[in-house]
Chains A and B, each alone.
Chain A
Amino acid sequence: MNESYASVMPANAYNWIAVWRRNFMAWRKVALASILGNLADPITNLFGLGFGLGLIVGQVEGTSYIAFLAAGMVAVSAMTSATFETLYAAFARMDAKRTWEAILSTQLTLGDIVLGELVWAASKSVLAGTAIGIVAATMGYTSWPSILYAMPTIALTGLVFSSLAMVVISLAPSYDYFVFYQTLVLTPMVFLCGVVFPTSQLPGSFQHAAAMLPLAHSVDLIRPAMLERGADSAALHVGALCVYAVLPFFASTALFQRRLLR
């Protein structure tokens, strides 16, 4: 088992780039539609909730509600774009389109493919998160350089949620099962992790549980960056996100091995 598991790990540090470039080439053909599609939802939320609720709520944690929400929306858009890219597009490449099967007949390993898909999904997160940041900066809710400060966390958030979604697709028999992950895991996380309101509003026990969730670590890094405040325990958040990115990578690669290479 150990020897066979080693054989599906990435073969070297650069094989994954060919997979990334394949996805980039496909994306380029539909880039405009893809960007607009990725932006519409978070921007609607930002302005709908920001202006609507913002009037009632007023100031939150010493800033306007819409500026507070903008930072949360950057984290959420990084989460959803990596999740959806993996759940739907990578699943199609693994399953119906047989793209992975074609790649597995070359010198690439399963780990090379999964790594390429992860970095690709994270790239889409950077694009989506940055786009929301640009909208927020244009409206004056954040400064231009803060987008740069937030970018490493946006990328890491993409890796985390793509990695988690890999585990979902390695187990799911079909698309129909993804909805459970979306409604039972992702949607609650949005409300538990301080995206739309501060976690201090939650009951005490929820606060402790919520602090463990990956999106909470992302929000706790992205919001201070965008509001130009110092982040508390940044190393802890980065470390936690790295664990959330790396462990599911190994788990999903082993699960894919069981599913695709018997």
Chain B
Amino acid sequence: MNMSTVAIDFSGVKKSFGDKLIVNDLSFSVARGECFGLLGPNGAGKSTIARMLLGMISPDVGEITVLDEPVPSRARAARVRVGVVPQFDNLENEFTVLENLLVFGRYFGMSARKIEAVAPSLLEFARLEAKADVRVSKLSGGMKRRLTLARALINDPHLLVMDEPTTGLDPHARHLIWERLRVLLARGKTILLTTHFMEEAERLCDRLCVLESGCKIAEGKPDALIDEHIGCNVLEIYGGDLHQLQELIRPYARHIEVSGETLFCYAQYPEQVCVHLRGRAGLRVLQRPPNLEDVFLRLTGREMEK
């Protein structure tokens, strides 16, 4: 990839805290205009990677480049063109919505006049036009996230770094954020997001990197990863003796995983499996297309915690 088309480049990055290895030999590249996901369970190192990208944590080994600036040495120059949506809200709760934008714009050296000129379009984008003079402490969780997003856009960044942007939101608020992010992608922004929601990663990301314990265990387009690692239908079976069921359906399954009280059966012809399960009392069977959850389960042998 040509440098000018690359927004983020990690090359052989390692980071330990004490003797605990948090990020292990990680390399990936994000092209400009792309939505790239870091997908993994809690503790996989996602937030550490996001903070390294901003120059807030220095790697022990490896090279990081963000918008053509070496990080952390020139992280400040890079951050001028980056917007950040942190994992935990850090808005000014005592300030109004508009005051939050005003205060934050000043950190980028913007004049009050310039901030007031861009604020209406940001509030409109965040669907907060009617809330300009409302205190943040009176806003719902979804509104606060949208304000954090609007705040991250105040410096008109090329790149948005979002650490678990929809964690803790209800489904309606989550869908509204996703819809807003797609608008940003359509405008040509680059987005790096960390998430442990498979659905979020599948819907938004052009490409993603699956992480476990600081290691990259897979990288690619969501569809391609699902095809490559699963490539067939899935039956979720629960409510019976898992050991007995496993023996029963093994001849018809390409692969079987057990996680908790659920049996995941991957089969080319799920009907064949269903025939053998018919008539068993108390058994629940759900047939569905494969998703990234299955990829993670396949690669790690365990489900990603919700």
Contacts and interface: CB of A to CB of B under 8 A. Distances in A.
B145 to A, nearest CB: 14
A106 B79 CA distance: 6
Interface in A43-98: 97-98
B72 A97 contact: no
Contacts of B91: 102
Contact of A262 (B17, B79, B88, B104): B17
Interface string B55-96: 111100000000000001101100110101010111111110
B106 interface: yes
B88 A105 contact: no
Contacts of B76: 7, 11, 107, 109
A221 interface: no
Contacts of A261: 56-58
Interface string B122-162: 00000000000000000000000000000000010000000
Contacts of A98: 86, 88-90
B80 to A, nearest CB: 5
A104 B107 CA distance: 9
A7 B108 contact: no
B95 A26 contact: yes
Interface string A100-130: 0111111111000000000000000000000
Contact of A107 (B58, B92, B107): B107
Nearest to B56: A261
A108 B107 contact: yes
Given A101-B90, A102-B86, A22 B106 contact: yes
Contacts, number: 68
A103 B108 CA distance: 10
A189 B103 CA distance: 38
A25 interface: yes
B64 to A, nearest CB: 14
A89 to B, nearest CB: 12
Contacts of B73: 3, 7
B71 to A, nearest CB: 11
B84 A21 contact: no
B146 to A, nearest CB: 16
Contacts of A101: 86, 90
B263 to A, nearest CB: 43
A4 B103 contact: no
A169 to B, nearest CB: 18
Nearest to B57: A262
Contact of A7 (B72, B86, B93, B103): B72
A29 interface: yes
Nearest to A113: B107
A15 B89 CA distance: 23
A18 interface: yes
B54 interface: yes
A74 B185 CA distance: 58
A103 B107 contact: yes
Interface string A1-40: 0011001000100010010011001100100000000000
Nearest to A102: B90
A191 to B, nearest CB: 37
B107 A26 contact: no
Residue from A4, A11, A18, A29 whose CB has the most chain B CB atoms within 10 Å: A18
A3 to B, nearest CB: 7
B109 interface: yes
A74 to B, nearest CB: 30
B257 interface: no
Nearest to B77: A107
Contacts of B56: 104, 260-261
B301 to A, nearest CB: 31
Contact of B79 (A22, A29, A105): A105
Nearest to A17: B106
| In the A-B complex, the 10 residue pairs with the closest CB atoms | A98-B90, A106-B107, A105-B84, A18-B106, A102-B90, A22-B103, A107-B80, A18-B107, A261-B56, A262-B57
Given A106-B107, A106-B108, 16 more contacts: A4-B72, A7-B55, A7-B72, A18-B103, A18-B106, A26-B95, A29-B94, A98-B88, A98-B90, A101-B86, A102-B90, A102-B104, A104-B54, A105-B84, A108-B107, A262-B58
26 contacts: A4-B58, A7-B55, A7-B76, A11-B76, A15-B109, A18-B103, A22-B92, A25-B95, A26-B95, A29-B94, A97-B93, A98-B86, A99-B92, A102-B86, A102-B91, A102-B104, A104-B54, A104-B56, A105-B86, A106-B155, A107-B79, A107-B80, A260-B56, A261-B57, A262-B57, A262-B58
